[in-house]
Structure 1
Amino acid sequence: MSREKNAFNDKQRILRLYSILISKQAMSVEQIEDLFFIGQKTVQRDIAAIREFLTDLQQGEPVQSEVVYDRKIKKYKITERDHLFEVFDKINSEENPFDF
C-alpha cells in the first residue's frame, strides 16, 4: 500500500471509521480496506482502538455499546448505539470545569 494514496493519518482514519459505524452503517473488512487504502492488520488495529475507546467511554457502567463482527452479514457494527448516545448526553450534562 502506498502512503501517497492514504489521505488520512491514523487518528483521522480511526475517527472516520468510528463515525461511519456510529451512523448505523456496518462495514466489511474489504470495504474498510478499500476506503482507506489499508491492509487487514491495520483494520484490526483500528477496530481494536475503537473498542478500547468505547470501553473507556462507558467506564463505571456496564459496557453495552461495542464493535462486534456480525458473522451473518460479515461486517463490523456498533451495538446498542442508543445507550452510547445516553452516555454522551450524561458526559455532556456534567459540569465542565473549563466552562467560564
Structure 2
Amino acid sequence: MLTTMTALAMTLQAASAPALCNYAVVAGSRRDRSVWVYRSPSMGARKTAKIKAGSPVFVCAGNAEWFQVHYADGRHSCRGTTGGLDRRLASTCASGWVHRHRIAVVAR
C-alpha cells in the first residue's frame, strides 16, 4: 500500500510541475553581432527590438522557421534561469519572434 501511495504522490507532484520555456542563447554571425526580434513570425512583420549575440533567451513556442522567445531588456526583467523559465513568469519578460537559425537552444 505504501508503494501505491508513493506512486500517487509522485504522479500528482509531476502533474503540478510548471511548464517551462527552454533556455537558449542568441547565435550571432561574423557579420551580425545582434539579431532582430519581430512582432510575429514573418520577415514582413514589424521589428520590435535587437538582441546581442550571446544574450540569454527562453524559447516558449515555435514553428518550422521561427521561435517565440522571452528575454530581459531595459524595461522587462525576465526571471528565468539556465534551467528554463516558468511559463507563469513569462509576462515579466519582453517577447517576440526570432528566426530559428539565430537561436541555440542550450537546455530542454
Considering only CA atoms, is the larger Rg found in Structure 1 or Structure 2? 2
Asked if TM exceeds 0.5, the reply is no
Q: Point out the structure with the larger helix share.
A: 1
Q: Point out the structure with the larger strand share.
A: 2
TM-score range, shorter chain: under 0.3
The normalised TM-score by structure 2 is 0.21
Give the number of the structure with larger relative contact order, counting CA–CA contacts within 8 Å between residues 6 or more apart: 2
